[in-house]
Every structure is written in structure tokens, then in C-alpha cells.
Amino acid sequence: MKNSLSGINIKIKNRLSGQARIDGLFLLAVLLVAAYGTLMVFSAGVAYAEARYGDSLYFVKKQTVWLILGLAVMYIASHIDYRLYQKYTPHLYALTIFLLVLVLAVGFVGNGAQRWISIGPITIQPSEIAKLSIVMMLALYFSKYESNATDRKSKRNIFIYGTIIPCAIIFVPIVLVMLQKHLSCIIILGAIGLILILAAGPDPRYISAFCGVGVAGVTCLALFTDYTKDRITVWQDPEKYKLTGGWQTLQGLMAIGSGGIFGVGYGNSILKHCYVSEPANDMIFAILCEELGLIGAAVALLFFAFLVYRGCLIAMRAENSFARLVCLGICIKMAVQVLLNIAVVTNTIPNTGISLPFFSYGGSSLVMLFFEMGIILSISRHATIQK
């Protein structure tokens, strides 16, 4: 009887202290970013949707459906104990490998690349799932072998458990994505994996060596593959190749520059009228800058910064290493993708086709993002954060 009463008292104390509730500020940040992104899809996609599909609301209607589905997925995911995700992480990793192989065999081609699988009316991009599965598999691995991976007394343990095995976990999906000629995803997967390995605590000297090898490998792939080599050539002088690859970059830069500080007004973009290709997708940040100016762009970046900050705070206060690394990995993924998208739009790096989280039009990627946010919210229920 006393044990039962003490158990009830502990549960009541946990609820009163906020440990059984999700992190409200993180949830608010997710909702604000998602709402902002949907508003921009509506504005940026109107002209292109009318020209291509004869329906100016084509993109926003589909995006709204995906948004509602994503919110439902996030709600369900946030109410599942994160330890269940931990239990089924190897299954998710195995499924990801299977789908990455399957897309090479039966995937359909879109925009010149074979990266998607159709299952009835649903289109899946396995590389999006790969980003999360790498995070979760590395988190599971280090939660089991953290002591070996960080054993400073044994160089052998650090090299094998802290470097070789985790790098192999990253390497398998990267090779399969490489066969899809998806350079941007290779960069994101590599960045997520290597940063997460460093965060787990192994000797950074070994990981730095692997980072060097990885950078050299990606550079060779870029320089000696015709597809990427052409993009680097265009990136160096887009004006010279404005009719054979540089058009999108130049129009994007023009959109950013014409927005000024306050923008031309929501819905008033000129360059979204089929001047900027894919205005509701990879180049949506350029339309945002044109319509809402520097202020609108800064607000978007502040939303992302707060979302990543709050996610990292949940990670630091998580109750075990698996939860900590999963939160951290998802935040790393989002931050890397935001930075790379903006770098592409501003021509800081060659055009590699990277979407902007929560803003770019797309179904499977949006639902996956909400699922990841749901996992973080699930972990936040057990984190000791001051609410």
C-alpha cells in the first residue's frame, strides 16, 4: 500500500514539475515556422501553379493537406514514449537501406534524377528518411558503446568503437545515395553524421581524419562528375551561362536584391511569375526576401534559430545519451539544411537543390519534419527543463 501511494506521489510531483508535459516553447516555434512557411508557399507558388497546372491554388491546397497530416503525425509521435523509437531504431535503419536500394531498381525519375518511389497516391523520397535513420542509429549505437568509444586509455577502442563502426553506419546510406547522384543529400548526411559523432565524445583527431577523407571524396565526386562539374562552372560565373544553367541563380539574386529592407509587399513579387524556377520549392527564400525584405528574412532565421536553440536545450537536459543525441542530431540536420539552402540561393555555394525546411513545397519531407519534431516533443516530456 505504501509503495502504491509513493508511486502515485511521484507521478503527481512529475506532472506538477512539468516533466510529463511537452515543451510548449518548442511546440510554439514549430507552429510559427510551419505557418510562416505555408503562407510563403501560398504567395510564391501562385503564378507558377497557374501557368503549369491551371490552378493558382494548386501548391497551397496540397501543402495544406500535407501540413494537416504532418501535424497529426507530430501529435501522435509526441505521445509515443521515445524509448519505443529506441527499440525500433534498427528496424528503421534496415528499412531505409531497403528503400534506398529499391529506389535504384524501381524508382521513378523526376527533374532528371531517380530518387522517388510511388506507393499508390503517395510519393516517398527515401533519402529524407535516411537523414533521420542515421541520427537514430548513431544515437542508439553510442548509447550502447559510449564507454568504449570514449575510452581515452585505449586507442584501439576509440579507433574501432568511436570512429570505424559509426563511420560505417553513415557510409552505407551515403553510398546508396551517391548512386542516385544526389550530391546535396550526400553532403547533408555526411555533415549530420560526422557532427553527431563528434558530439558523442570520441577522440576528435580520428574523426577529423575521416572528415578530411569525406571532404576529399565529395570534392572528387563534384569535379569529375559531369552533372556537378557543370554546376560548379555555372556557379563561378552565372552571368556567362545565364541561358544554360545560371538563369535561376541570377533571378534569385535579383529577387533578393529588389526586396531591400522591407520588401515589395506580401504577394507582390514580380520574379515569381515564372522568372525564378521552382519559386515555391528550393528558391522560396529568394521570393521571401523580395516580398518581405531583409526584415522578413531575419524573422524566418530567428524562428529557425530559436527552434534549434530550444531543441538543443531539450537535448542537454535529456535523461539519457540516446535521447540527447537524437534531439541534437535532428537539430543539426535542420540547421545544416537551412544554411545550405540559403547558401545556394545567395550563390555562396553551387546550386545543389536543397529544400528549406517547413518552407519549401513538398509532401514526404514536410511530414518527416513533423515526425522529427514529434520525437523531440516526446523526449521533452522526460527532460528536466524549466517550463
Residue 194: per-residue pLDDT: 87
Residue 62 grid coordinates: 496540397
CA distances from 274 to 46, 237, 257, 271, 329 (A): 10, 22, 18, 7, 36
Nearest CA among 311, 308, 342 for reference residue 324: 311
pLDDT digits over 175-216, tens only?
A: 888 888 777 888 889 889 888 888 887 767 767 776 777 777
CA dihedral 175, 178, 184, 188 (to 10 degrees): 0
pLDDT digits over 92-136, tens only?
A: 999 999 999 998 887 766 655 667 787 766 778 888 899 999 999
CA distances from 300 to 38, 185, 188, 247, 306 (A): 12, 23, 21, 25, 10
d(CA 167, CA 214): 10
Query: Please, where are the H alpha helices in the chain?
Result: 2-17, 24-53, 58-78, 82-87, 89-106, 126-149, 155-159, 165-178, 183-200, 204-224, 226-236, 247-259, 284-316, 321-345, 364-380
d(CA 367, CA 161): 33
40's CB contacts (< 8 A; 6+ apart) are 284, 287, 288, 359
d(CA 155, CA 294): 50
| Per-domain boundaries in the chain | 23-380
pLDDT digits over 127-174, tens only?
A: 889 999 999 999 999 999 888 877 777 778 878 888 889 989 998 999
d(CA 56, CA 47): 6
pLDDT digits over 206-251, tens only?
A: 677 767 777 777 677 666 666 677 778 888 888 887 777 788 888 8
Q: In what order do the strands lie in the sheet with 122-124?
A: 108-110, 113-119, 122-124
Is 74:27 a contact under the CB 8 Å cutoff? Answer: no
Is 116:103 a contact under the CB 8 Å cutoff? Answer: yes
**What is the maximum span of the chain, computed from C-alpha positions, in angstroms?**
82
Q: Where does residue 351 fall: left (phi above 0), alpha (psi -120 to 50 degrees), or beta otherwise?
A: beta
Pairing state between β 108-110 and 113-119: antiparallel
The pTM score is 0.88
CA distances from 351 to 204, 226, 286, 347 (A): 31, 14, 13, 7
387's CB contacts (< 8 A; 6+ apart) are 18, 21, 23, 24
